[in-house]
Structure 1
Amino acid sequence: MKPLEKLHSLGQSIWYDNVERGLIESGEMKKLIDNGVRGVTSNPTIFEKAIVGSNNYDAAIREAASQGKDVDALYDYLVFHDIQAVADLLKPVYDSSKGVDGYVSLEVSPKLSDDAEGTVREGLRLKEALQRDNLMVKVPATEAGIQAIRQLIAKGVNVNVTLIFGQKQYASVLDAYLSGLEDRLAQGLPLNVHSVASFFVSRVDGLVDKKLANVSGGEALQGKAAVANAKLAYSHFVEVTQSDRWKKLAAAGAHVQRPLWASTSTKNPSYPNLLYVDTLVGPDTVNTVPPVTLEHILAKEDYERTVDVNVDEAVAQINAIEAKGILLEDVAAQLLSEGLESFAKSFDSLMDALAKGLQAAK
């Protein structure tokens, strides 16, 4: 059994965290999907690297300039083309999985992270403009974003909730999803909506490890926080899906909001390449991976279910870290702030580059 097939047999779908026109036009993206990749994710940083870092969009920018498009229209013109193309490549996966997989994700503007109503409007606009059943709109798990998630789910928009780092944040996300489904049910609408909750992994170790380096005995706990944190999130997911609240929704046709492990490339070179893959395999999960991590996955022969193994040890590790004065909720809040700032910076850089591109093409 091939690696991606093996992971899928264990309940995990591998999605590809990368979109760029060169991959699409070369046929490489189709090849990845044919070989078992079951979804694709994007974010402002990915599009900034794709558009600014290559010549693949130059002709389209010149064409847009000749049509008198402004910067916002140019962004849509470039990004929508790629998202629609990937959605079409993934449509067979979407159809064969009955809507479980086969999604491509596009993020709302980072400018909307504190604007619930603006996020809802943008989510609905993206759904209408892209006209693809297998689109997921990415919404950050800010306070405003979580309000928007409930409304978007209630309105039938598939949502990929992003930038989740902490347990309270994740619990709020799951609650928003269920509440949105309950709103649909109360209106007599079908529960044919899908969602994933993107729980970020490696960045947790990145920050916690730095803090542990400054406390006595902290070294022994380095490299433990991220996986333990994710396992606790999965435990909460299982608990919710066994609740009477969920069973009522499931009986009406609802689909689980799968945990999606994001930021799963290994940042610390002393850690195993697949640290954030091998340890988080299990039912109803997704792992979205960048190109280098996918290469490592494909080079490995076998996998086993691990996401719900040694959960007591994970609890003990988190307790030990917090006993050192490092509170995971504080870590989560800092990482959310940093993540929002990073995406906003990438988005601004991209829009600046597009403005210059339009000017140069005139």
Structure 2
Amino acid sequence: MAAPRSTAAFRYALLLLAGGVFLTPFVWLVATSLKPIEQAMTLPPQLLPRAYYAVIAGVRMEVTKDYPLPTAGVVVEMTKGAQAGRQLFLSAPEAAAQRDRLKILHRTEVGWWRVTERFDVDLGAAVPRWDIVAPAALEEHVHFRWSNYPRALAAMGGQTADQPTPAEAKSNVPFSRFLVNTLLVAGLGALGTVFSNAIVAYGFARLQWRGRDAFFAITLATMMVPFPVLMVPLYGVFRELHWVGTLLPLWVPAWFGSAFNIFLMRQFFLNIPEELSEAARIDGSSEWSIFWRIILPLSKPVLATAALFHFLYAWNDFLGPLLYLTRRETFTLSLALQAYQSQSGGTQWPYLMAASVVTTLPIIVLFFFAQRFFIQGIATTGSKG
């Protein structure tokens, strides 16, 4: 009994290890989405976001750690000259040379940190306060910045300021619009995928007609045609139909079948006993009635699998929306995410990761609830025929 238990424990440990490896990118994604911008790419890397606090001008406030001092010196306030009223860091000889024009605030040592008052909003022309403090004077706490999420979603719609002008607010597109567009494309496409492919697969699997196998082989051969070959002709067709700039090119083609899903459903239909169809024909049922009342109810796993496959594809599709969508209000989530990344000038990793988490989360939830049908559909799709 000891050997089987040890073997089972080893298998579970191996599965946990493999699962941890696959989860690592997602954990990094979520952790980065909760960090301030300056902590997104630090060396050495740190997983958990942190907040630092220090006392500046007698006030405890959150600060950012800029850099450690390479040399000792003094923090001074200039009292005369063009820089009167400004706070500066000077070396000891520089401070001694200007001692009649400044007031020494405190002395510093090598390794002390220059810190700056932290703000999550644009200060405009205002200058944040700063100081140089000893490492022991810095407070450190784990702090998750959930405010990154609403900021990221607002930025995806084009909002670049915390308080946009009326004109900017009017041009902004809410995140809900991108979500609705994506749900429409994925949902209508999944519905069309199930309906159209099931009808074609039923004809290939259960009906006898001349040239059936040859047409099925031709259908499978279309999977070898790469999408770039079809890209320009399809764009020309949709342009003539005046569909460019709308969501129609992204979901209407799904209602005309796809070779892979036809093959998947045909193989499943072949595993359904033919006797059920024969008994229904004896009772006077038409082929449509057999298909609708017998075959489809028994094929829920493969139908759910095909719908899930297409939903995942449409949700993550970037090339299609990039080709056909021209206005921000018609963008899907993938295109809006890419547009946000390119418009911000420099990559603001926490906001980009926050938007990516929100974009990915619905797919994870969907797969969690549909995995039973997905696994059953894959496992029971045979190779008969």
- Normalising to structure 2: TM-score of the pair? 0.20
Higher RCO, Cα 8 Å, sep 6+: 1
